[in-house]
A and B are shown apart, each in its own frame.
Chain A
Amino acid sequence: EAGVTQFPSHSVIEKGQTVTLRCDPISGHDNLYWYRRVMGKEIKFLLHFVKESKQDESGMPNNRFLAERTGGTYSTLKVQPAELEDSGVYFCASSQGPGREFFGPGTRLTVL
């Protein structure tokens, strides 16, 4: 069974540019999550989709971040415009129920 996949694996952009991260969850998993690890800090929750609906977006840092999950399949996370403090590793995870999340390999974002 294919796991959670994320694209790109790495992205280096300049401050002010836009970046879009993509996540393909495990087939059949209604729950999709975005998490972020900033250097030296713990992994932090960003938001949670159930199918195409945003269930909880309390972790989104600000309105420069926009997540979508059209059709309840893959999800995108757009950062526009990117700031230096957005650098980190963005993980996507999917699950059928709570606590059994399968994580993708992450996208390492560097904002210069």
Chain B
Amino acid sequence: RKEVEQDPGPFNVPEGATVAFNCTYSNSASQSFFWYRQDCRKEPKLLMSVYSSGNEDGRFTAQLNRASQYISLLIRDSKLSDSATYLCVVIGSNDYKLSFGAGTTVTVRA
């Protein structure tokens, strides 16, 4: 079983729409959770950390469900510039290394 699993998509949505997707992780001892964004042929960039209480950053909302071991990302009022691959990233306990999901591709169309 993979450490981090994501729906690869693609999610094709019109501008202004809301899109949401999840990722699941296998290690119940995982301590830290993040969403990274990766544009085509570019490096991953940190989008936001995910906290137990849930958190928002502008149009982006991240949720963590420890009991079910999943993380979600919701994008409101999608912009063309939101088109990218979103990588779910988990760090285990006593660990620094990032475990990546394979990514969820989002395409926002005009």
A-to-B contact residues, CB < 8 Å: 31, 33, 35, 41-45, 48, 55-56, 58-59, 91, 98-106
Contact = CB atoms under 8 A, between A and B. Distances in A.
A59 B97 contact: yes
Contact of A48 (B96, B99, B101): B96
B45 interface: yes
B34 A103 contact: no
Interface of B: 2, 4, 32, 34, 42-46, 49, 87, 89, 91, 95-103
Contacts of B95: 56, 98
B2 to A, nearest CB: 8
Interface of B is mostly: strand
Nearest to B100: A43
Contacts of A41: 102
Given A91-B44, A105-B42, A99 B32 contact: yes
A100 B103 CA distance: 18
A87 to B, nearest CB: 15
A9 B42 CA distance: 11
A33 B97 CA distance: 8
A44 B49 contact: no
**The 6 residue pairs across chains A and B that have the minimum distance between CB atoms:** A103-B43, A42-B102, A43-B100, A45-B97, A98-B96, A42-B100
